Structure formats: C-alpha cells, structure tokens
Amino acid sequence: MSFEVYKFGGASVSTADGVRNLIAILNKSTSKDIIIVVSAMGKITNALERVVASYFESKELCVEAIQPVIEYHFSLAEDLFENHATPVFKKLQRLFEELNGFLNRNKSPDYDFVYDQVVSYGELLSTTIVNAYLSENGFASVWHDVREYIKTDATYREGKVNWELTMQNLSTELPKTGIHLMQGFIGSEANGFTTTLGREGSDYTAAIIAYCLNAKAVTIWKDVPGVLSADPRYFDHAVLLRFISYQEAIELAFYGASVIHPKTLQPLQRKEIPLFVRSFNDPDAPGTQVSLGQAIEPEVPCYILKKNQVLLELASLDFSFMAEENIGEIFKLLGIYKMKVDLIQNSAISFSVCVDNKFKNLEVLVAKLRADFKVTVHQNVNLYTLRHATSESIEILELNKEILLKQVAQNTVQLVTL
C-alpha cells in the first residue's frame, strides 16, 4: 500500500475553522494511508523571524516579540478544545519553554544558526495542535518529529538534503500504514541541530517524503483554486491552469511563481509522482495537476512578479572588455554572499545581474565588487517574467513602467523595472 502525501499551508490552518476544515478534507479522502505535512500557522514564520531579529538587539525586545506567538497558539487551541485540561496545552507550554531555554542558553553569534533553531518552532507548534485535534476527532494519527527522518548538511536556512540517509530513515523507521503527521520546512544536521530547507520549504518536505516512499501522489492544499497564470494580487487577468507539465512547473517555480516551491518538482518528476494543487476552501474542485504531458492547459501567457530585487550594473574600471575571468570572479562573489541570481545580461563592456538579497549581504558584496569594477546599484526593483509571451501580453506588461533592463529568450520575456 502506498501513501498519499497531503501538505497543508500556513494559511490553510491559520484559524480554528481552518483546522476543522482539514478534518473535513480527511473525511472525504478515499485513502486511509496518508502522510500529512503541515506548515507553521498563518504568519507565524514572519513573527518568529522578528523574534530572531530582536534576539540580536536586546533581551527585552526578544521577550516582547515572542509574546504574540504564545498568545496566538494558546488562543487558537482554546477555540478548538473545550476542555483546557487537554494535554495539548501542556505540550504547547513545553515547546515555548524549550524555545525560551534555547534563547537564554545560546552562545552562538551565527544569525543563520539561531534563525533555524527559533523559526522551526512554528511547525512544531502547528503540528502539535493539529495532531491533538485529529486524535480528538477519531483519527488515530501519529505525530512525528520530521527532524529524525530528513537529514541535511549544516547549511543553515538552506539545508541540502542527504538523500541516502533520509531515504533510509523514512523507508525503515516509518510505519507503512496509517495517518502520520509531520512538520514541513525543517530537518536536522549530523550533530542534531535543526536546519531549514528555505522559505516556503514545506512543499519541498512533501516532495522529499513522497520521493523516498514512492508515494502515489502529493496534494498541496492552498487558499487558492490551484496554479494560476498570474498572482491576482498584482494582475487582473489570472486564469486557472488545469494542467502543467513537470518541466513547465519547474520553469514557473524557478522564475518565482509562488504556488509551488522551486525545489519541489524535481524529486516528483524523477519518479513521475503526480502533484495536485487544490483549494482548501473548495476541496471538491479539481484544481491543478502537475505530471507528464503537454506544457500547460489552457495555453495562456503566465505573469510572474518578484518584488524588492536588486539590479547590479558592472563595468571594468579600465574600460577593458568584460572577459571570462571578470564574469567568473563576479559569480564567485555572488556565491560567497549567497545571492540568488534571477537574471543576467552582458555585453562587451558591461554586465548586469538581478539578484535577491535574502541574506542581507548586499553592502559587503558591493564593497568587494567595487575593488575591481564600477558598480551601479538599483535597489527595490521589480522583476517581471512573462512565459508564453504574445505581442499583446508584452504590451500589457510594459505599460506605464520605467524599464531598466529587458531580456527576451524564446517564449520568455523578463523586465526589470523601478
């Protein structure tokens, strides 16, 4: 018997009604062997990031920042459980005591290490609540600490999976039937310290588990109808994509489509495990299927926006050409300072690169680059990507925008704008 993997995002379980709706979805499922992967609730990851930031400022600010996180989880639990003597309240209290204990004991000045140890509590808290509610409603679900199964290297905030060890753990230590509940987003390294898989990494967790266990399918339950041709927050012509091939979904994710995590698709494609993106609010709707087949259906232009990017324009100081050794040095520095490269464009005398400064290393990177290059920095730019572009869709995209850079490749157009 093969498992199905269900992943529930933070928006799906951000309220007591959301948790109740998760029960309704399980009641409708025809599968009895399910692995449930749950993200941190609501905006708790953001709230815990503020805890980390305040930790490096002052103890008083840290205590203040953690209080809303405590209040949120206990309030949600009180909405779900009438009997406040239910063990879940003690379990939540223990988790917060653990978190505070780490913050009081820790001596490491490594921001990324502290980030992973703290932010991971969002998933531990959410799965503790969800599992208790499942048990109270007749589901014999088993709570697992996913860190015992998914092993990574010690690259904090971007843990690289040790596939051999992870597969061995999941295939030999996890029971082969029943309902099992795990956390998304987190794993652990060789010394047992928590690592995270990158923001929005819970989708990736579901794919890792599915790959290692040869799952029948993965379903990501979202607060949207499925994969849309554009983010309706920024574009007014979004339509539901009923079918996407693995390759097209990988391209969309790479360019920044937010519905599917960029690393999620490749393990599923390797074993041809279908992925469904379905509406948490309308579980009977078909949503989007990602599997083998034609690129997309319907075939329409797809618009993607990445905000708050940085455009770097470089030229040599002595007016020489931008040769291979120059570009090699630039990419070496981009790697050292963990810059996610979204677009590059070069000519004989210039090199432009649009990057995501997620690790806040821009200032030191630019200082290093200026030792050898003339550098112009444009911060807070927008990167638009248009897949399956038509002349009409390009006109719509360019309308009333100040374009700093434009790149056209086959059926993909990218614009960097102010």
Cα–Cα distance for residue pair 221/334, rounded to 1 Å: 35
Cα–Cα distance for residue pair 54/396, rounded to 1 Å: 42
416 pairs with which residues across the strands? 383, 405
Residue 332, annotated ligand binder?
A: no
CA 404 to chain CA centroid, nearest Å: 28
346 pairs with which residues across the strands? 351
Cα–Cα distance for residue pair 120/77, rounded to 1 Å: 19
Residue 351, annotated ligand binder?
A: no
Sole residue written with tokens 């979004």: 238
Cα–Cα distance for residue pair 204/268, rounded to 1 Å: 10
Cα–Cα distance for residue pair 281/22, rounded to 1 Å: 10
* 3-state class (DSSP) for residue 337: coil
Pairing of strands 179-183, 142-143: parallel
Residue 226, annotated ligand binder?
A: no
- The string of DSSP letters for 10-36 reads TTTTSSHHHHHHHHHHHHH-S-S-EEE
Report helix angle 59-80 to 16-28, nearest 10.
50
- The string of DSSP letters for 195-218 reads EE-STTTHHHHHHHHHHHHT-SEE
Dihedral sign for Cα atoms in the order 58, 60, 61, 65: positive
Residue 10, annotated ligand binder?
A: yes
Residue 387, annotated ligand binder?
A: no
Residue 270, annotated ligand binder?
A: no
**Could you check whether the bond before residue 298 is cis, i.e. omega within 30 degrees of 0?**
yes
Sole residue written with tokens 């989708």: 203
Residue 82, annotated ligand binder?
A: no
Cα–Cα distance for residue pair 190/198, rounded to 1 Å: 18
* Residue set of the binding site for substrate: 45, 123
* Residue set of the binding site for ATP: 7-10, 233
* Residue set of the binding site: 7-10, 45, 123, 233
